[in-house]
Structure 1
Amino acid sequence: MSNAPVYEIDPAAFWADPYPDLKRMRAEAPVCFVPQLGATLMTRRDDIFRNEKKTSVFSSYQPDGLMTVLMGENMMRRDGDGHMSERRAIFPTVSPRTVKDVWRARFEAATEQVLDDLAPRGACDLVADYAMPVSAEALKAITGLDNMDWREMDRVSQGMIDGCANYAGDAEVEARCHDCTASIDRHIDAQLAAPPEHSLIATQQAAGLGEDRIRANVKLAISGGQNEPRDAIAGCAWALLSHPEQLAMIRRGEAPWLAAFEEYARWISPIGMSPRRIAEEAEVDGIAYAEDDRVFLMFGSGNRDEAVFARPDAFDITQDAGPSIAFGAGPHFCAGAWASRCLIAEVAVPMLFDRLANLRLNPARPARFGGWAFRGPLEVAVTWG
């Protein structure tokens, strides 16, 4: 382990609300070892931004890491040329041009159908009833797994997310994750012979990637392409409903919907952490690391750094969210960022507010949030009409 100061946490409290602990870490021990997580946490934005690029020390290659063991070695767990070659292979699927010319229309059609089903009801949970199917239908299209039901897409994504955050070694969580990856493999098997055009399966095949790489990268896309957009759609809507003066600014054309999404992703980062392995013994910023130490880059903490953001603990679409590291900061910057911005800021959130008149939070069922490695709303109850 590193020689960083030790900081103890209550895992249950940290899952419920990590921000008080993260604030103390930034102030008292910005790089600290947390025994309950078995990792050294880096919590200040500029430290994360700088060190994420030092892949010779803070390596994404983690052959014994939870993601690799449970999902296969995907491009997120590779550095250098290996990572870049696979990133280039998937780029035709997630490029700004493909998002604009191909996926946006698919996103709009699927969202319209979800809203058609919801509109007569007058009340729903935005997480389960809106954001979940909207995100899943988008992901089905992008991956090429249009043979999977949207409910199964959400289930397998959540199962893998839980598995990758299972640092306590819960056997039930691990077994559920294996069941989810097996389901994905069965659905991939059925698509390999004739994958949908532009899909992640098709572009990887065209680039000559082997089947093991294709499977691992599709699982990566599902693990990061369902829960995070789902949580950001519901969470961004909740934030705007909780701050009606900011929603009014957008409606008056004084701020774009994108500003609300970017600020929400800074304020409550759907991806709160990214793990790294120390590739070689090193001393960085006065902290000595041993080879194979585990380091967590705490994006959710960096995005509330008091030294960087004017009002770090507030949702405020007027402040500069430009320094946010919600999508990462280095060579592993999220490849799906353009698709996420389109789905959330151009389609799902504006269409929700345009379609459901007088949309409002249900005061009898306050929104609930959870998670620290991945964080988002568990329920956002609303009514309309």
Structure 2
Amino acid sequence: MLFDPWNPEFVAHPYDVYRELRDTEPVRYFEPTGQWLVARHKDVNAALRDRRLGRSYLHLATHEEFGRPAEPEFQEPFWRVTRAGMLDVEPPVHTRLRRLVSKAFTPRMVEELRPRVRRVARDLVDGFVERGGGDLIAEVAEPLPVTVIAEMLGVPEADRHLLRPWSAGMCGMYELNPSLDAQHTAVRAASEFAAYLRELAALRRAHPGDDLISALAQVADGGDTLTEDELVGTCVLLLNAGHEATVNVTGNGWWSLFRHPGELARLRADPSLLTTAVEELMRFDTPLQMFERWVFEDVTIGGVDIPKGAEVALLFGSANRDPEVFPDPDRFDVARADNPHISFGAGIHFCLGAPLARVELAESFRALLEAAPALRLVEEPVWKPNYVIRGLESLMVSTG
């Protein structure tokens, strides 16, 4: 099988192809998307930290000056929202945004959320167990991060059902060569989400509460504050990045545990392994398989010269199975101690929400391990067609 991100068989199991890429052509041009695939951990890790590459080139040149076609006009509402957050911008704008957001979204704030995350996880799991099981993704994995981020932001409970569809719709734009329908869906979701957040932000500026939108609306550093666009873009990023990753680590992770019953039994017998298990779940079946970077000036990656204006596709899923870094990388080991996976990225764009994701994942798995010791799979799951943000359609289980 070849590297084919539109092939369901490849999406379901890309790891044999990754192995062949690492062994024979670790940096390779992929004609269908016009990208350079980068497969080895050391090259992916170095590229993430190399300031000659970045998420956007628009601080340096227009699309035309960079040799790229201009984006269709109808996409403008989507890019206005996403480029107002810190993920798709470069220094000095990125530096400024991250500094301001970090003042409101602190490690202490995340740790103070742990008891609330634990209660949400346990309530969801208790209801799931009472029903005897069902779709673990729809009934536990998805509601947990949506509830947590909605409470953090200050989104009223009555509106929270809107968040998941907006997030899923926007993330469709990040797939390779998205269809026209997917593009229009993403634009519509971005427009609706932004309009909702602008209204909520205006309310919080006038009447601040004990929530993250209120904190972001008031955060200041030497007179510098977030603009309304930046506040909206930050909130959208916090939901999309945090939510999609946590949902897919949960679904992919339980599927990995079911396929490795010895490791599941080991984790059930020794819950102290949960910390290392969460890291292994992120490494073994990575939720974000690919992360792209633009080349600002000629570079050499893995001995291959890549010209300015090119796009590199960093294969996180391949890097996390690289035997040069992970002994016996295809072995699933919930006690793996030395685990420098790059599922949260590296460099200046390292995931700001990583501490929150770890708390959510630990509490979700803990609740299920404790309340559903007989949790078992009732039907083999099917992977969504998406490759970049990779997860299961559903995960049907029984708790009895």
Please point out which of 179, 185, 193 is paired with 1:176.
185
What RMSD over aligned residues (CA atoms) do the two structures have, in Å?
A: 2.4
Amino acid at match of 2:244: N
Distance 2:48 2:337 in 1: 22
Amino acid at match of 2:181: E
> Could you tell me which residue of structure 2 aligns to residue 203 of structure 1?
216
- Please say if residues 268 and 376 of structure 1, whose CA atoms lie closer than 8 Å, have aligned partners that are also in contact: no
**Equivalent position SS for 1:248:** helix
- Please say if residues 267 and 274 of structure 2, whose CA atoms lie closer than 8 Å, have aligned partners that are also in contact: yes
Shift of 1:198: 4.0
**Equivalent position SS for 2:142:** helix
Amino acid at match of 2:165: R
- Superposed counterparts of 1:233-382, under 5 Å: 233-253=250-270, 255-345=272-362, 347-362=363-378, 365-370=379-384, 371-382=386-397
- Please say if residues 185 and 215 of structure 1, whose CA atoms lie closer than 8 Å, have aligned partners that are also in contact: yes
> Could you tell me which residue of structure 1 aligns to residue 7 of structure 2?
12
- Superposed counterparts of 1:110-125, under 5 Å: 110-125=120-135
> Could you tell me which residue of structure 1 aligns to residue 66 of structure 2?
none
Shift of 1:184: 1.2
Distance of aligned partners of 1:119 and 1:251 in 2 relative to their CA distance in 1, 3 Å threshold: closer
Shift of 1:116: 3.8
Post-superposition Cα deviations, 1:46-71, rounded to whole Å, max 9, x if no partner, equal 1111221111x211224468974673
> Could you tell me which residue of structure 2 aligns to residue 3 of structure 1?
none
Distance 2:380 2:321 in 1: 24
Distance 1:48 1:312 in 2: 17
Deviates more, 1:184-193 or 1:327-336: 184-193
Distance of aligned partners of 1:24 and 1:349 in 2 relative to their CA distance in 1, 3 Å threshold: same
Distance of aligned partners of 1:69 and 1:183 in 2 relative to their CA distance in 1, 3 Å threshold: closer
- Equivalenced residue count is 373
**Equivalent position SS for 1:76:** coil
Distance of aligned partners of 1:239 and 1:275 in 2 relative to their CA distance in 1, 3 Å threshold: same
Distance 2:287 2:185 in 1: 22
Amino acid at match of 1:87: R
Post-superposition Cα deviations, 1:201-226, rounded to whole Å, max 9, x if no partner, equal 63254231101111112222222111
Distance 2:241 2:5 in 1: 26
> Could you tell me which residue of structure 1 aligns to residue 154 of structure 2?
144
Amino acid at match of 1:51: A
- Please say if residues 62 and 276 of structure 1, whose CA atoms lie closer than 8 Å, have aligned partners that are also in contact: no
- Please say if residues 81 and 233 of structure 2, whose CA atoms lie closer than 8 Å, have aligned partners that are also in contact: no
Amino acid at match of 2:110: V
Deviates more, 1:307-316 or 1:193-202: 193-202
Distance 1:141 1:183 in 2: 19
Distance 1:328 1:184 in 2: 26
Q: Give structure 1 stretches of 5+ with no counterpart.
A: 1-6
Amino acid at match of 1:60: R
Distance 1:169 1:112 in 2: 37
Distance of aligned partners of 1:69 and 1:274 in 2 relative to their CA distance in 1, 3 Å threshold: farther
Shift of 1:140: 1.0
Shift of 1:288: 2.4
Deviates more, 1:91-100 or 1:33-42: 91-100
TM-score between the two structures when normalised by the length of structure 1: 0.89
> Could you tell me which residue of structure 2 aligns to residue 35 of structure 1?
31
Q: Give structure 2 stretches of 5+ with no counterpart.
A: 64-70
Percentage identity across paired residues of the two chains = 25
- Please say if residues 39 and 319 of structure 2, whose CA atoms lie closer than 8 Å, have aligned partners that are also in contact: yes
> Could you tell me which residue of structure 2 aligns to residue 4 of structure 1?
none
Distance 1:341 1:76 in 2: 20
Matched, 1:85 2:93: no
Distance 1:8 1:249 in 2: 34
Post-superposition Cα deviations, 1:94-118, rounded to whole Å, max 9, x if no partner, equal 42211111x2233223223323432
Distance 2:275 2:257 in 1: 12
Distance 1:112 1:324 in 2: 28
- Please say if residues 107 and 138 of structure 1, whose CA atoms lie closer than 8 Å, have aligned partners that are also in contact: yes
- Please say if residues 49 and 329 of structure 1, whose CA atoms lie closer than 8 Å, have aligned partners that are also in contact: yes
Distance 1:271 1:323 in 2: 16
Distance 2:82 2:270 in 1: 44
Deviates more, 1:271-280 or 1:370-379: 370-379
Please point out which of 115, 121, 131 is paired with 2:141.
131
Distance 1:268 1:188 in 2: 33
Amino acid at match of 2:53: F
**Equivalent position SS for 1:300:** helix
Post-superposition Cα deviations, 1:115-153, rounded to whole Å, max 9, x if no partner, equal 343232112111111111112111212333345644322
Deviates more, 1:217-226 or 1:258-267: 217-226
